[in-house]
Amino acid sequence: MKSKHIDLTVQSFELLFPQDRIQQRIREMGRRISDDYFGKRPVLLGVLKGCVVFMADLMRAVTIPAEVEFIAARSYGSKVDPGQLILSGGPSTSLKGRHVLLVEAVVDTGRTAHSILEWLKSMEPASLEIVTLLNKKGRREFDVSIKYAGFEIGNDFVIGYGLDHDQLYRNLPFIGKVIDTFGR
């Protein structure tokens, strides 16, 4: 009988960031955001699904009153041609005049963040910044400025802590770097 647990042997990966290191870094980010937004009641707007684990930690590391909202982003298409970016859901409150922090697990080409920012700008927020756990600067195709980045990483494909490969591995409590993928 097959194990009911995730079969990690289908992915070959190296540990990149262990859980304690990630959580320590997120606590620092939360402290900085709390200082910068003191008295401002910011809206933390998470980009699903990747943001879930990061958001859960970040919102608890923020020590000032803050609201939490989500938007879902997915792109249809292949790796080569990412196709159309589909946004769904979105904030249940008006963002006009609000201090908005877009919360992403990873900014890669910057396409997702760029598209969402353009859309958010039309809502006339008082301020708009990006918070990302991982930043792949070297992969950038769209110009986005990131105010809060947890870790700068290279061109690697990473999994865990909310990040998937084919919808799996989001529930790994650490971040791993994929070395080889089978059946991709």
110 binds, among ligand IMP, Mg ion, none (CB under 5 to 8 A by kind): ligand IMP
Contacts of 180 (CB under 8 A, 6+ apart): 11, 12
Secondary-structure breakdown of the chain: helix, strand, coil percentages, each rounded to the nearest 5 = 25, 35, 40
Cα 56 from Cα 7, distance rounded (Å): 25
Q: Which residues are registered as beta bridge partners of 69?
A: 45
Nearest Cα to 73, choosing from 99, 103, 41?
103
Phi-psi region of 12 (alpha: psi -120 to 50; beta: other; left: phi over 0): beta
- Count the neighbouring beta carbons within 10 Å of the beta carbon of residue 79: 6
**Number of residues in contact with Mg ion under rule CB under 5 A:** 1
Task: Find the part of the chain contacting ligand IMP (CB under 6 A) among 19-27, 32-40, 110-118, 122-130.
Answer: 110-118
Q: How far is the CB of 15 from Mg ion (least distance, A)?
A: 20
> Per rule CB under 6 A, is residue 174 in the interface with ligand IMP?
no
- Which of 16, 26, 107, 175 forms a contact with ligand IMP (CB under 6 A)? 107
**Interacting span for ligand IMP (CB under 6 A) from 13-21, 24-32, 60-68, 159-167:** 159-167
**Which residue, 67 or 164, has its beta carbon nearer to Mg ion?**
164
Helix (H) or strand (E) holding 24: helix 19-36
Using CB under 6 A as the binding rule, whether residue 158 contacts ligand IMP is answered as yes
Q: Using the rule CB under 5 A, is 181 a contact of Mg ion?
A: no
Region 65-104 residues binding ligand IMP, contact defined as CB under 6 A:
none
CA count, 13 A, side-chain hemisphere, 130: 27
Out of Mg ion, ligand IMP, none, what residue 127 binds, judged by CB under 5 to 8 A for its kind, is: none
Instruction: Tell whether residue 75 is a contact of Mg ion (CB under 5 A).
Output: no
Based on the residue annotation, tell me whether 143 is a catalytic residue of this protein.
Answer: no
* Positions that interact with Mg ion (CB under 5 A): 164
* Positions that interact with ligand IMP (CB under 6 A): 50, 106-113, 157-159, 163-164
Q: Tell me the catalytic residues.
A: 108
